[in-house]
Structure 1
Amino acid sequence: MNLEHLKALVAVVDEGTFEAAADLLRVTPSAVSQRIKALETSVGQVLVRRRVPCTATDAGALLLRMARQVQLLEAETAAALGTGSSLRAPLPVAVNADSLATWFLPVLHQAAGWEDSALDLHVEDQGYSSQLLRDGAVMAAVTSDPVPVSGCRVELLGSMRYIPVAAPGLRRRFSSPGGMDWAAMPVMKFNAKDTLQQQLLAAKSVQQAPPTHTVPSSQGFLAAVRAGLGWGMIPELQLSGELADGALVWLEEAAHQDVALYWQAWSLDSNRLARIGAAVREAAIDQLRPGTRQEPSAPSRAGNRRQK
């Protein structure tokens, strides 16, 4: 397969349109279209869904994954030969938003010193990020899926602990000698994928859905809980003194949910992949709780949850 054709496929999927891909590759949109058509002719299948944004078909996802691997190996080979000092290999990585807002930050500090790599983060729920590996959209992912994607290695990083908290005033309003009125007390969620709060309510046999506020922002979600808009499951790593100073209170003594996180990455002999894997592992050891393997149905946090 022609390397330029594969580069065109990556550019179209990443940029979303043929025009934007053309700008990136510094060619005309017609040239990009011709390269994609030539690639599709060579494999005998449609590879790109031509809509906005453009997406890869199932067949295109297979080639997309190969194309990214080729790009990475090309950059590392050029560097080894001393001819690619200015060639930054893209490193697309999926990470759930709660991790990005907390324990993953040291990885960004390390990546700031990598002059040969361009970090491309995809914020996705840990329960869904492994699909990005299957689609070829990313090379590695922080995921709650312990089952390795075909062609990938998987290792347990540790567990994130979530605790149910609320503003003191909110808890007082819905407290009684008989306990908390969970069915009436407003609750927060990040978006439709966010199920942690609902899991706690289900465990308490709450049948009626309480008033629910949606705040799709990492800092905004925490700020909304502090403001008393509703209660929510917050990562303990994100609570920097709120419980100690009384800004937030634990709704139920010792209640929590632990979500095991895994690092899945391509089984590729790549210095860049090994380097980011080491950085992720180091950050996880420093901040995550020791984890135990969980089944794929582990609790899941919303796809863009805690996005800044």
Structure 2
Amino acid sequence: MGRWRGATVDGGRAGGRVLDDADVAAALAVCAVDPVASILATTRLEAAAQLGIGAAGGQLWGYEPEGRLEAVCWAGANLVPVVPNRDPAALDAFAALGRAQGRRASSVVGEAGAVLGLWDRLSAYWPRAREVRADQPSFVIDRDPDVEPDPQVRRTVAEDYDVILPACVRMFVEEVGYSPVSGAGGPYESRVRMLIAEGRSFARFEQAHGVGPRSAGVVFKAELGAVAGGVAQVQGVWVTPAHRGEGLSKAGMAAVVVAARRDVAPVVSLYANHYNDRALAAYRAVGFEQVGTYATVLF
């Protein structure tokens, strides 16, 4: 991918540029400054390190005053800025690239200061956002949980797909407001299959009567939606409405933490909406501690 230098920002300062495969290692070093805040970008960059940026499904933007890469932004299905020093000039540079290319992403997501600063610079040029979630506490745990893990929570297997998919869709609709399904082989369906195949999907099932261990329905579920930089980020936490208020999310999350730290990464993270008091209380009870704030702009 070429090194495009067409963007400039107010005051004549150099803008960002589209990076190429030779820049991926330096970009990963930028993300390593705060692995929890940058995990969504790091996930794509680790794929780019193996496959190339194009095969990883997006572009990589960089800001490098005086020849040193100081901030990056992954531009794919999601726009994910990583600006460790919160330099406004980096946000100016990424906004210039975003204005030049137009909106292609379905969201802007990541550390709140970078996301909201970038959106402030883009909002007059891109279509109106459907929703701005400006306060999403970011949590981590790097030790054993404070509650007993649910022994009935397990990794899902391929045979669970037909039961897991409807639960994933229900969670997505509750969280985002529309269905992600597009038919067999669609991107959402493929991602659910991938998470199962990679051992990153967990669930507790109700059991069908009279048919042995066959799964009848999902009671609790969660996925390790992003794994990179020594961090596993939990996404898609959901308890079926009929069983909410029974403490299943606490014990279920404890089980996910134990399995993730044992088999995947030493640090487990997640982020949630600030108004979801029940979920935040459950995460804190498990032992998660807030370390920052995310934000998400949805289109």
Task: Name the TM tier (shorter chain).
Answer: under 0.3
Between structure 1 and structure 2, the one with the greater Rg is 1
Scaled by the length of structure 2, the TM-score of the pair is 0.27
| Higher RCO structure (Cα 8 Å, ≥6 apart) | 1
Higher strand share: 2
